Amino acid sequence: MIAALLLFSYIGYVYLTLPDVRRLAKENPKTTAFMQLRIDEARANDRKFSIRHQWVSYSRISPMLKRAVIVTEDAAFFDHDGIDLDEIRASFEQNWEEGQFLRGASTITQQLAKNLYLSPSRNPIRKVKELLITRRLEAALTKQRILEIYLNMIEWGDGIFGCEAAARAYFGKACASLDVQEAALMAGAIINPREHSPARPTKRLLRRQQIILRRMQFKPPAPAAAPAPANETPIETPVIPVPSPFPDPPPANKSGNGTPPPGPPASPPPLR
């Protein structure tokens, strides 16, 4: 009885001391817990370190990058309220069968909660805080705003945070100018951004890129046909269109959630 009372009291204390996320509806965050963690790690190792970060508005983020990140990290992003119960169940079943942690189930909103306020540890208490903050984020912000903050603040390399700094560091261009191939590389690097560089992709990152492109339903241009002999009529190769860019969600409804974009009916699991 006493133990249950202490546990309930502790949970109540954790809930009351959670950050107030409502200001994020209109105010862009200046820093994150992950940024401070990397600064502290560099200081402890006496290593020179600086943060590269530049905020860009939602309209200046490549539609291809938005789509690539969603199909990679959270295909049901517009359909759930921050916690994907179906993915949690599938993750638990697979990890139980394999006897080790192979598949995560964190949504984009959960990842944002962790990046902004917490740490990468797998401490159970940290996970509880993440879930509570996730619910607060979903209640206070629209889906578009959550995605905008996520793409602007997540870690994308050693000292590189946000899609604008990453696009300029890896491809020498603004995020708005990323093409579908570059967007897929950047989305594939999120799983371990300090190991995978989109500018110098590993074999594993290139494989992830191809999986992401397939999920985006992108078909690369057909190779150029060999010239036809002079006495034959050349056969025209049909143009394979690139799918329409990821659309901007319409204005949020009263629940704070955007209308889900068109896409395949089945949501693939996060690419891990």
pLDDT tens string 103-127: 456 899 999 999 999 988 878 888 8
Residue 12 in any domain: the answer is no
Lowest mean per-residue pLDDT among 17-21, 114-118, 134-138: 17-21
Residue 227 in any domain: the answer is no
The pLDDT of residue 12 is 73
Q: For 46-103, write each residue's pLDDT tens digit.
A: 999 999 999 999 999 999 999 999 999 999 999 999 888 777 676 556 555 555 443 4
Residue 23 in any domain: the answer is no
The pLDDT of residue 99 is 55
Number of independent structural domains in the chain: 1
pLDDT above 70 covers a percentage of the chain that reads 72
The pLDDT of residue 73 is 93
Mean of pLDDT over the chain: 82
Residue 222 in any domain: the answer is no
Per-residue pLDDT for 43 more than 60? yes
pLDDT above 90 covers a percentage of the chain that reads 60
Residue 247 in any domain: the answer is no
Domain hosting residue 92, numbered range: 30-215
CA-wise closest residue to 189 among 222, 167, 216 = 167
Residue 73 in any domain: the answer is yes
Residue 154 in any domain: the answer is yes
Q: For 204-253, write each residue's pLDDT tens digit.
A: 999 999 999 999 987 666 555 555 555 555 445 444 444 444 444 445 44
Residue 238 in any domain: the answer is no
The pLDDT of residue 254 is 44
The pLDDT of residue 185 is 97
Q: What is the CATH number of the domain that holds 65?
A: 1.10.3810.10
